[in-house]
Amino acid sequence: MTANPGVGKSAAAARVVRPSSWLWIPYIWLFFTSTRALSTWLSGHAEGAGQVDYSGSAADSVLMTLLMLIGLFILNMRREQAMRILARNKWVVALFVVMVVSILWSNFPAITFRRSARSIGTLVMILVVLTERSPQEALRVLLQRLYLVQIPFSIIAIKYFRAVGVIYGWDGVEEQWIGLSTDKNSLGQVAMCSGVFWIWQLFRDWTRKDQKRDWKRIGLDVMMLILTLWLLRGSKNSHSSTAILGFLVCTALLIALQFIKNTSAQTKRIILAMAIGATLLAPFAFLAFQSFNESPAQAVLEATGRNMTLTDRTLLWTDVINNAKKHPLLGVGYGAFWVGTIGYEMYPLPNWSAKTPWWRPEQGHNGFIDAYIDLGLVGVALLLIITGIGFADAWLNLQNDFQYGSLRMVLLLSIVMDNITETSVLKGTHAFWFLFLLLAVKVPPAIRRARPKPAPFVKTEEPEAEAAALLSDSLESVKRSPARDRNHAGIPLTMSFATRPVLP
């Protein structure tokens, strides 16, 4: 009796629920938010790629509006699933309500309206992804498509199209790699998450038990990881220290999670308690280091190429917080602080201006401080609640869907770490805001564990052998059944293979 390999392969393939073609709509949105705006690409050069167009671009507005309309059309077809997700994420809904309502007290209501609309567009794209039949597979495919394009083409731009992939500092000497992104920090963010993703996928492809290892897929994972690490290291005199540190920490966490993969829930709780305990003991360790000439924080910062001011970021944070204290509860309005030259007199930055009078940044280089100035303590509280719930839900995923939970855990951590020195949360058209919502939003269990369609019947070339296999399984089940039920099993125990049925 010979086995039919086609049946096994079809069953294994059926277990993978492929995302629909509608997933390309969020991909287009994510591509432009993680690289450059359409208007910047149409300009054909890298200079000024990172500058914000506060008046809005017609090309960008048309593209984003079109994608939003298509996204709403998709959600209308999936409105039941979308409403269930929103009902399960009331804190996310509350945050977006505060964003929109802040138009009422914003000093620049037109800018607040435009940025709120784009952030809502991001939420629409997130819902399109999460209402797929398998949100886990949709997330994996979305990230894989993004990095398969962005990483190789960024390297090509840096090596061969330097007018697109490289910019220089004010002195004209410092070389900064930007690839398809707008600046070195944005490229570092992409490389950080890409590296974590390919390591995660390598673990996934290496340890999967449903089928034999696909060496072509594993080879692709390794190759993309090598290319990502090449980008992450940066040029000879310029790199993103935050991205490198975030990659190392998240990789260590990802490896640690692999070691506790098969441990019991109680053991995992003990490990988590130990981690929390270490966090609580950190202040005492800091005080112990004060007896030396160098604090641990200073040692870490100097190892990553920064000083205790985080490249003058602490001066900027002081100025932003002083402005936020004037509107502590609700802030100045969503997106109404970093508005370019029109806000210089209204929102002074004396400490920063004394250090760098000829240039003013376009963000506060800390996502939570920028949330404070935009939406006040209410916005910060909502953001922290959503972050905490996201981590808690990712931890629960580790119990029932380890691969999905580990990816959520490490990518959420990378985004939170990045927002210590950069700002991406609450920025409507930033790739990390997209990913943050995609990872933090809770998916109802019925949607998360969507069952694939059953595998179609595969007709074999040996119907008698297939029938014999089915009969053998039936006889085995009869033998295992209680004696009193065997007479009612419906299968004569004396049936020989000579009288076995033949499949059509």
DSSP 260: T
Question: Please, is 76 exposed, middle or buried when counting C-beta atoms within 10 Å of its C-beta (0-12, 13-18, 19+)?
Answer: exposed
Q: What is the pLDDT of residue 279?
A: 46
Worst-scoring range by mean pLDDT, 66-75, 127-136, 199-208? 199-208
Whether pLDDT at 461 is above 50: no
CA-based torsion, 140, 145, 151, 154: positive or negative: negative
As for how many domains the chain has, the answer is: 1
Q: What is the pLDDT of residue 257?
A: 84
Please report, rounded to a whole number, the percentage of residues in the chain having pLDDT higher than 90: 49
* 464 domain-assigned: no
In 10 A of CB 93, how many CB atoms? 13
Q: What is the pLDDT of residue 401?
A: 86
| pLDDT higher at 251 or 273 | 251
Worst-scoring range by mean pLDDT, 162-166, 195-199, 454-458, 475-479? 454-458
β-partners of residue 176 are 167
Whether pLDDT at 121 is above 50: yes
**152-161: pLDDT as tens digits:** 999 999 999 9
**Cα gap 169→184, rounded to integer Å:** 11
Q: Which of 189-203, 239-253, 346-360 has the highest mean pLDDT?
A: 189-203
**357-400: pLDDT as tens digits:** 878 888 899 999 999 999 999 999 999 999 999 998 988 888 88
Q: What is the pLDDT of residue 8?
A: 44
Q: What is the pLDDT of residue 6?
A: 45
Q: What is the pLDDT of residue 448?
A: 55
**Mean per-residue pLDDT of the chain:** 80
Where does the pLDDT of residue 55 fall: very low under 50, low under 70, confident under 90, or very high at 90 and above?
low
Q: What is the pLDDT of residue 109?
A: 95
Q: What mean pLDDT do residues 405-421 have?
A: 91
Question: Please, is 111 exposed, middle or buried when counting C-beta atoms within 10 Å of its C-beta (0-12, 13-18, 19+)?
Answer: buried
Where does the pLDDT of residue 198 fall: very low under 50, low under 70, confident under 90, or very high at 90 and above?
very high
Encoded amino acid at 427, one letter: K
In 10 A of CB 180, how many CB atoms? 25
Q: What is the pLDDT of residue 9?
A: 43
3-state secondary structure of 175: strand
Whether pLDDT at 92 is above 70: yes
**311-330: pLDDT as tens digits:** 578 889 999 999 999 999 99
**Cα gap 223→155, rounded to integer Å:** 13
Q: What is the pLDDT of residue 211?
A: 67
Instruction: Please tell me the total number of residues recorded for the chain in this structure.
Output: 504
Encoded amino acid at 359, one letter: W
Residue 126: which of 440, 491, 497, 399 has the closest Cα? 440
Where does the pLDDT of residue 54 fall: very low under 50, low under 70, confident under 90, or very high at 90 and above?
low
- Report whether 141 contacts 23 (CB < 8 A): yes
Whether pLDDT at 241 is above 90: no
Where does the pLDDT of residue 267 fall: very low under 50, low under 70, confident under 90, or very high at 90 and above?
low
| Phi (first) and psi of residue 370, to 5 degrees | -65, -35
Residue appearing with tokens 């944070």:
317
Residue 128 to residues 82, 143, 495: CA-CA distances in angstroms? 8, 15, 54
CA-based torsion, 410, 413, 417, 418: positive or negative: positive
Structural domain including 47 reads 19-448
Q: What mean pLDDT do residues 69-91 have?
A: 96
* 128 domain-assigned: yes
pTM as predicted:
0.79
Encoded amino acid at 367, one letter: G
* 494 domain-assigned: no
**What do you get for the CA distance between the two ends of the chain, in Å?**
18
DSSP 455: P
CA-based torsion, 246, 29, 401, 382: positive or negative: positive
CA-based torsion, 398, 248, 301, 51: positive or negative: negative
Residue 477 to residues 486, 489, 495: CA-CA distances in angstroms? 10, 9, 15
Whether pLDDT at 131 is above 90: yes
Q: What mean pLDDT do residues 276-301 have?
A: 47
Where does the pLDDT of residue 304 fall: very low under 50, low under 70, confident under 90, or very high at 90 and above?
very low
Residue 195: which of 139, 135, 244 has the closest Cα? 244
Q: What is the pLDDT of residue 200?
A: 95
The encoded tokens of residue 109 equal: 């209501």
Where does the pLDDT of residue 494 fall: very low under 50, low under 70, confident under 90, or very high at 90 and above?
very low
* 294 domain-assigned: yes
* 504 domain-assigned: no
Where does the pLDDT of residue 40 fall: very low under 50, low under 70, confident under 90, or very high at 90 and above?
confident
Q: What mean pLDDT do residues 130-149 have?
A: 95
* 14 domain-assigned: no
* 7 domain-assigned: no
Max Cα–Cα distance, the chain, nearest Å: 97
* 379 domain-assigned: yes
What contacts 24+ positions apart, CB below 8 Å, involve 384-392? 385/91, 386/91, 386/92, 386/95, 386/440, 387/412, 387/416, 387/440, 389/91, 389/440, 389/442, 390/439, 390/440, 390/441, 390/442
Whether pLDDT at 408 is above 80: yes
